[in-house]
Chains A and B, each alone.
Chain A
Amino acid sequence: MIDKETSRAKAVKFLFLGLWLVITVFPLYWIVVTSFKKPGAIFSYPLTYWPEVFSIENYLGLFAKAQFGTYVVNSLIVATVAAVIATFISMLSAYVLARFEFRSKGAILLAFLATQMIPSFIALGPLYLLMTQLKLVDNRFGLILIYIAVCIPFCTVMLRGFFENIPDALEEAAMIDGCSRFGALFRVLVPVLKPGIVAAFIFNFVNCWNELFLSVTLINSDANKTIPTALNGFITSYNIDWGSMSAAAVLTIIPTMVLFAFASRYIVQGLTAGAVKG
C-alpha cells in the first residue's frame, strides 16, 4: 500500500505480530524448560517458568534407559538415505515434467497430487503384507524404500516449479556444445538450482525424520526403531514419563528446526508454487 501507516496502526500491528510470535514460540520454550528441570521438579508446585536447577538428567536417562542413541542413528540413516535417493529421482521426473509437453503429462501430475489427498492408512495393511512377502518387515531398508516413494510425488511437483523458472536457453547452449541431456541437467541446471534442490532434500529429510504411522506399522524391534516410533511407545504406556518425553521431543525438534531455518525461503516458494498451480 502506498499511503503512510499511522503510528497507531503501526502499534496495533506490532502488538499483534508480537503476540503471535510469543504464542508460536511458547510451546517450544516450555518443552525445552521442562526438559532441563530435575525430574522431580517437573511434577511440583508451583510451576516454575525457568529451571531452578539446570539438569541434564532427563537427557542422560533417555540414553541410558531407552537406547535413544540407537533410535537417533536409525532415524539419521533412514531419513538421509531416503531423502537423497528421493530427491535424485524426483529431479529426473521433475525435469521431464517441466521441460516437455506430452499428452499424459496432466494425468501424471494428477496421479502424483492425488497421493497427497488420499488417506494413506488405506495402504497400511497391503503394504504390511507386501513387505512381509519381500521379507522387509522390521527392516530399515524396507522403510527407506517406502519413504522414497512417499517423498517422490510432492518433491517432483516442487522441483518442477523450480525448473520452470530457469530458461531453456541454458541447457540448449550446453547441448549445442555437445552435452547429453543428462549431462545438461547435471552440469548446467543442478548448479543453478542448488538452493532449491537442497531445500527439497531438507523437506524430504524432515518428512522422513518425522514419519510415524508407517514406521509404527512396519518396525517392531528396538534395534530398528526410529525416534517417532520410540516416542509412540512412550505415550502408549500408562504413565507418561514427561521428563524423558520432553528431552526426546527437544532432541527430535532441534535438528529439523535448524534445517528448516536454512531452507525455509525455498520451501515456502515450493509450497506456494505447488499449491497455487495445483
Chain B
Amino acid sequence: MTTTTDEAGRGQQLATPTPPAGPSRTAGGHRRRTFTVRRGFGLLGFLAPAFIFVAIFIYYPMIAGSQMAFRNWNLANLTDTSWVGFGNFLAVFADPAFGKVVLNTVVWVVASIVPQFVIGFGIALWLRRKFRFRGLYQAMIFFPWAISGFLIGILFRWMFNSEFGVINDLLQKVGLIDTPIPWLADPNTAMFAVIVANVWYGVTFFAIMILAALQSVPEDLFEAAALDGAGKARMLFQITIPYIRTTLALTVLLRVIWIFNFPDIIYGMTGGGPANQTHILTTWMIATTQRGDYGRASAIGLIVVAILLVFTAFYLLSMREKKVKA
C-alpha cells in the first residue's frame, strides 16, 4: 500500500499473507507477460543464482538440521549418530527448565509487543501531520535499527550494570530507588530489563509501519466525518483503526514471529541467566548448540517452528472470521 498507488484503496487484498500467484494479479496492476518456454530459459538464468545460493546455504542445512532432531547428534560423540525417534523431543519436554523457558518466551513476546505497539501507534499518530524537522525526527528515531540486537544487548547490559550503571544512577537521582538494584543478577528483575531493551528497539518498527498505513487512509473520509460532527476519538476508532486494521493485524503477526525468534538482545545482555530466568526458546537452543548437543537443539528449533505455525494458522483464521462479521 505504500508502493503502488493503484493498491491504495484496496485494503482487502492485503489480507492474503502470500502474494497472489498466477495471472489473476494482472487485473488491477500492470499488464504482465506470461511465461513461455522460449523466454523461460532466459529467465531461469536470472533466477538461478538466487536459487542456488538459497538452496545450498539455507534450505539444505535447514532440512538436514531438521533430521538431526531425530538423531543422537552430539559433537562430543560423533561416532554414534543413530536415529532416536522422538527421543530428543522427550528429553526437551522432560528438562526441568522447559516449562520455565516456554513461559519466559510468552512473557518476552507479549510484554515486548504490547508497549511497542502502544508507543509506536502514538508516535505514528503524532507524526502524521507534517511539522518542521519531521523528516529529521524520523531519521533520528530510526537509528536503533542500524545496531545489531547483540550490540543493543551489550549497550543495555552496561546501562543496567548494578554498580556503575547509569539506570540505577538516574533512578537514585530522581529518588525512585534508594539503593542500586542488581537488575541483571536478580532473577526477579532480569526479565524486565531485557524486555525494556527490546521495547526500546522495537517501537520504531511499529511507528514506521503504522505511519505508512495511516498515510494510506484517504483524507476525504475524515472530511466527511468532520462534516458529520465526529470528534477526534471517534474518527480514530471508527475510521482510522478499522481502515488500517488488516495492516495492523499483519504487522503484529510478523512481529510476534520475529520477536519469538529473536535471541540476540538476551544473548548479549544476560546469556539467558541468571538461572535460566531470561532464557527463551531460541536462546536456550543456542546454549544447547554451544554445548554441542545438536540433536536436542534441533528438536527445540522444530518445536519453535511448530508453535509458530499453529499460532499463525489460528491468527489468520481469527482475522478472517472477524472480517466476515464486519
Contact surface of A with B, Cβ cutoff 8 Å: 1-3, 5, 13, 16-17, 20-21, 23-25, 27-28, 30-31, 34, 42-43, 46-47, 89-90, 92-93, 95-96, 99-113, 115-127, 129-130, 145-146, 148-150, 152-153, 156, 161-162, 164-165, 167-168, 181, 206, 210-213, 217, 228, 231-232, 235, 242, 245-246, 249, 252-253, 256-257, 259-261, 264, 267-269, 271-273, 275-278
Contacts and interface: CB of A to CB of B under 8 A. Distances in A.
Interface string B1-19: 1111000000000101111
Contacts of B148: 210-212, 228
| Main DSSP-derived SS at the B contact region | helix
B293 to A, nearest CB: 10
Interface stretch (B84-92, B121-129, B317-325): B121-129
Nearest to A104: B21
B298 interface: yes
Contacts of A275: 209, 250-251, 254
Contacts of B302: 122
Q: Which of B46, B142, B212, B298 has the most CB of A within 10 A?
A: B46
B43 A249 contact: no
Contact of A150 (B31, B58, B156, B258): B58
Nearest to B45: A92
Contacts of A5: 129
A109 B18 contact: yes
Interface residues of B, number: 114
B305 A119 contact: yes
Interface string B139-153: 111111111101110
A24 B141 contact: yes
B34 interface: yes
Contact of B155 (A27, A43, A93, A213): A27
B4 A268 contact: no
Nearest to B134: A17
B231 to A, nearest CB: 9
15 contacts: A1-B128, A1-B129, A96-B43, A102-B40, A121-B297, A124-B289, A126-B61, A231-B150, A231-B151, A235-B157, A245-B154, A259-B146, A264-B138, A264-B139, A276-B213
A162 B2 CA distance: 11
B139 A261 contact: yes
Nearest to B125: A13
A27 B298 contact: no
B106 interface: no
A272 B65 contact: no
Nearest to A262: B139
B104 interface: no
